[in-house]
Chains A and B, each alone.
Chain A
């Protein structure tokens, strides 16, 4: 039985800047997690379906285009509709403080802004998933 943490790294919206998403995906993999990277231009529906299918414990959304206020609420709503609210959602990218606070109110577990260290992200996911389990 594989007890590795399963993470979906997803890149929603039209933006193609995937440097951050790829670095995070590799760092999580190097930290021993099972990482599924969706690739670019995923709709909230595609992301939630992939999370269901892959049976992940964590969804990491990478958004740099400023479209987070349109995209993240939709993802959270779909997770609720599908009854998988226990999945941990984190958002990384260019997210201003006031928006980060809003996203957390919607149930986002953590928002990682520019400069966040890989270590802090790995640690957060490890400790949060442990709590859920």
Chain B
């Protein structure tokens, strides 16, 4: 990337010319921001009208501790919440399951029942604060818990807004937190899309995510292509369910990575909007302008953070966040300087939030929509990424769609190859990483870290034991039986999940009911 030789290619393999001129963009049509195909942004005024939402992803240990962190973040000017769940929760296991040993509360907050969810949002009015939840395989269950907390707070579902990640395809492709096989999983995703369209119209039922694809080592072009092709797959399934395209498409949302290569990242966001607008209008015949607009969350690249010289991570994050803003993202998470080590300390997460605030209020970049629009280089790069992403999308179409592509290991292999090649460029020093393979320092002083001790697990286990002895167990059993019957049939499972959740059936019990009906998935590993 930073080679001072005559030939330069970026990580996506796109050759970078020595200079870009008017000849590079000849014939280019560039409608204004807010106009189809929205390359320059989905709003005419962009951040002049409204800044992006500053949404820091957080969650650790017990719901009690995470609730305190949320109240703190809201008091510091954060404008939305984003829940990180621990691995047992992500995999649909209760805190007392054997495989949860050692993992409870480690990578996020531990949630086993509605009771935990009530504690998590205690004192947070769900009619006013928007909440994003990073949960996939068990997404319908956690969402049901969230809606049930809303009910208890007396908030009408029509006022509840937020985002459920609920993107199972990228789990098979990259992050690997799947439980059930692809087809029943896709049915659950579609159940959520259908139910939210009908009952919780302000909620985003899915966040189609490239973030994890990129973290797994893909190139920017692969991230773009696989994410948008996943989006096409979800639209296909919702149409198959009988939903009119314009009834649900305006609530589809996206989530992209903001990585190191500054201009490539900006071009990626711009190309994503153009491809999606054309797909929705031309491939799916959507009529509503809102269906054409790709709205996206962005997060700076966790995998770019280094363990060495961790304060440099603030600088990396600042550049990445700036790329997301210049790319026109609707909400943003900035990583903390200590995240190559652990979940962030309160001090580190505050600096990360301040980074966004400095960009928003001091740098002046929010004053003009798409300030780089028309740049010879940015426009050429946007067009090139669009072309390469569309090539991938066409290849996956030819394979019969994303599920057959996943089953034959296509995106997995492409990503594994890209990640291995990238590691090689670091190994040879062709790609320099400051503090890691260049400008190395010895004997760096340690930094303060957040420690999560074993007491969270103990606390969660006790709460779960009490709950199970207190609740009406006959009602739990009836609701789980009804859920299993619904899962065996074809109707929407959401009402049954809600009943089970309200009776305080646990996450693990509800997932077990689905496991019994759907079975579980094991991948064939691609090296």
Contact = CB atoms under 8 A, between A and B. Distances in A.
Interface of A: 13-19, 22-23, 25-27, 29, 35, 37, 39-41, 43, 65-67, 69-71, 94, 96-97, 113-115, 117-119
Contacts of A115: 306-308, 433, 436
B103 A13 contact: yes
Contact of B103 (A14, A17, A113): A14
Contacts of B216: 17-19
Contact of B341 (A19, A70, A96, A119): A96
Contacts of A13: 87, 102-103
6 contacts: A17-B175, A23-B420, A37-B525, A66-B106, A67-B102, A94-B341
B449 A19 contact: no
B99 interface: yes
A69 B522 CA distance: 26
A-B complex: 6 closest residue pairs judged by Cβ atoms = A70-B102, A16-B176, A114-B307, A14-B87, A67-B102, A66-B106
Interface string B423-436: 10001000001001
Contacts of A65: 87, 103, 106-107
B429 to A, nearest CB: 10
Contacts of A69: 102
B523 interface: yes
Contacts of B433: 115
Contact of B215 (A19, A35, A118): A19
A70 B107 contact: no
Contacts of A70: 101-103
Given A23-B217, A65-B106, 10 more contacts: A13-B103, A16-B177, A17-B176, A17-B215, A25-B527, A29-B527, A40-B176, A113-B307, A114-B306, A115-B308
A76 B341 CA distance: 24
A14 B88 contact: yes
A19 B420 CA distance: 9
Nearest to A68: B102
A50 B379 CA distance: 52
A12 to B, nearest CB: 10
Contacts of A67: 87, 102-103, 106
A59 to B, nearest CB: 17
B340 interface: yes
A71 B87 CA distance: 15
A23 B176 contact: no
B381 interface: no
B342 interface: yes
B340 A114 contact: yes
A115 B437 CA distance: 8
A65 B343 CA distance: 10
A29 B474 CA distance: 55
A66 B176 contact: no
B452 interface: yes
Interface in B162-206: 171, 175-177
Kindly name the residue among B99, B340, B452, B525 whose own CB sees the greatest number of chain A CB atoms within 10 A: B525
B11 interface: no
B87 A39 contact: no
B260 to A, nearest CB: 16
A13 B177 CA distance: 12
Interface in B121-139: none
Contacts of A37: 525, 527
Interface in B384-443: 416, 419-420, 423, 427, 433, 436-437
Contacts of B420: 22-23, 26-27
A66 to B, nearest CB: 4
B446 interface: yes
B91 interface: yes
B342 A66 contact: yes
A23 B306 contact: no
B87 A94 contact: no
B87 A26 contact: no
A23 B423 contact: yes
B177 A22 contact: no
A19 B452 contact: no
